[in-house]
Structure 1
Amino acid sequence: MLKGKKVVLGVSGGIAAYKACALTSKLVQAGADVTVIMTSSATEFVTPLTFQALSRNPVYTDTFDEKIPEQISHIDVADWADLIILAPATANLIGKVANGIADDMLTTTLLASEAPVYVAPAMNVHMYAHPAVQNNLKKLETYGYRFIEPGEGYLACGYVGKGRLEEPETIVSVLEQQESLSLPLKGKKVLVTAGPTRERVDPVRFFTNFSTGKMGYAFAQKARELGANVILVSGPVTIDPPSGIKVIQTESAQEMYEAVMKELDNVDVVIKTAAVADYRPAVFHDQKMKKKEGPLSIEMERTKDILGEIGKVKTDQFVVGFAAETNEPIHYGKQKLAKKNADAIVVNNVAEAGAGFGADTNVVTYLNKHGLEWSLPLQSKEDVAHKILIQVSDELKDGQK
């Protein structure tokens, strides 16, 4: 999958730079066209001539060394690259890139490029665990950078632990796997709703349900990994949102409805996993209700049917609803599919083992308006989300709207 790919290999100044030589050779053997950029510190460990011999291309070490007068080197290389791999990526390089510092050929090229960037860190185990380094890695993740985690083992400093640059063969394998995955949702805008809603009775009480948001958050993460621009409209949950996406926090069904309808015209796909309350108290009490003798009755009124309202006004959006049932899920799922004017419904029996609220797994059946009935056995919610999004992208590609 790397054959013909234009790869920029950024080598920074760590002892693991010697492994970058083998990585260059492996990339060339895989059919990639490799251009190496070295920091000045990297040249203290390995000479540019070594990489030139292995890559059969000029090696860049100086921003001001313009090899072709008609071109600005860091812009030309940035535009040329199909992908960039930083190996080894030292704590210094990670920190500079995370904070937008561009003071050499490698960092200026990184800022100027729109190519996917893979980061393969390598450093002392304590350096890697330092909060500053971890915060910089998280920041790079929000920029869309991808990571090839360091391995564990004996380090040059004498420590044994996590921080060793992954082996060249493994790095090439990861790149090939990633490049073999197309980004079927690239350029698409995906709106995901997740979690429960809370319908307040008074300042201290509310009605809600057992939804944790895990399924919706898995969809948001996988949609982003498949290339989509993602908007996550979330009810109150206790899990952290995926990085690199727009998150809109809501509480009540009305707030979620307003947030969804505001974004609807600007999205291509809607994945509505949120467990939205069907009813809310008809009256909100400004003061805490005092308990009294005997039973309590609270009048309830209907909330907005978000999926139904989307079905009424949608134009070209592909809309996927969810139906959590406790009996006859297929029967009620098909009814919901038609009634809500959705393109697909994902149904499950939440009473089934491994498929209820709060679980890390799910068992679902995907129903679409063309008659497809596709059952997915017990698996992680991340895998369920990935497979359904691939199915949605296939239906979009085939014009099944």
Structure 2
Amino acid sequence: MRMGKYEMGRTLGEGHFGKVKLARDADTGRTFAIKILDRQRILAMKINEQIKREIATLKLLKHPNVVRLYEVSASKTKIYMVLEYVNGGELFDKIALKGKLTEKEARKLFQQLIDAVAYCHEKGVYHRDLKPENVLVDAKGNIKVSDFGLSALPQNQLKDGLLHTTCGSPNYIAPEVLLNKGYDGSMSDIWSCGVILYVMLTGNLPFDDQNVVVLYQKILKGNAHIPKWLSQGAQHILRKILDPNPIMRIDVDGIKAHEWFKKGYAPAVPFNDDEEDISMDVDSLNMTEHNGIQDKIAINQMNAFQLIGMSSCLDLSGFFEKELKVIQDCKGLANSRGQESLLISAEVFEINESLYVVELKKSSGDCSLYRKLCETLSEDLGTCKSQQFLKQDSIRQEIGRYNSSF
């Protein structure tokens, strides 16, 4: 199978909107990863802005520690993104295999991560979803930051100079993002880098809980347990990065000046701006812009955090006050034969006197009935963007590693 000059090979991975295939340039023999996206699914799921944002972002970035985008083209049914092939897997898998990394190894990877993030910030790009699953490792052990689908550009900032979209992955999200009062994209990325460093050094998450509300309480308080068996330098830099106050948090320059960070540090050199420029047929993508909407991601694939954060009026600072948890099993919704065929568990959290978060989970029964119930609830709760409400059997997925899809 061929796509232009590329010979298509095995499938590297599959997602909700397409697949990624290994490919070889028939002229040079060089290998690439080609992301093949289904246009109908993109339009149906209304994620065209997310795709365009990722393409526009990757077009800006030419750094040894960032996955490169080389070419974009489209047919009537598909969009093709020709990406750098990184054959070492995810940083998550590397950590999981070893349990934790040595300080020397973790420092080297962290130096590369900070180099990549600093370069992105210089280009006006804020990743907003940094986690080990979005950091790839090549055959030489060097990292490549990937997945810029939730990234933000300068034009996404409002008049106050801050970002306001609540997005990210629960365990890696910065506390100021949870407060929904606007945040500095560079400082929120630094927080996520600190969580990644903590995971590399200890093999554990600094903030974790099966209950998402309790998890956010921990993040907002920012009282991470720093193991005493780490070196003094490692302990100090972790405390400086994982400061819940973004004003007091150490920035990129401070990190690069830190004694622990500087050991063996060899800064990466970005590629020239005119090197291997991207061939992009943007017009053929035919994805409609939504005028007047800034910093908004219309996406039907989200995690539990994004579900809770969909409401623009949601201020999670109320998590400090009190929590009400109610678990109720609901039976009913008879099928055509008059039999009860659906069992649902509901958890209700009181954020404040006028705001509640409800989590639903299908314990057993017909999936189609569950979807119908969710559609009905979605219509009833339409005032808070709940048209993207639950479309899968459970929102309680493995928060640390996988995003739930709705």
State which structure, 1 or 2, has the greater radius of gyration over its C-alpha atoms: 1
TM-score when normalising by structure 1 = 0.26
TM-score when normalising by structure 2 = 0.26
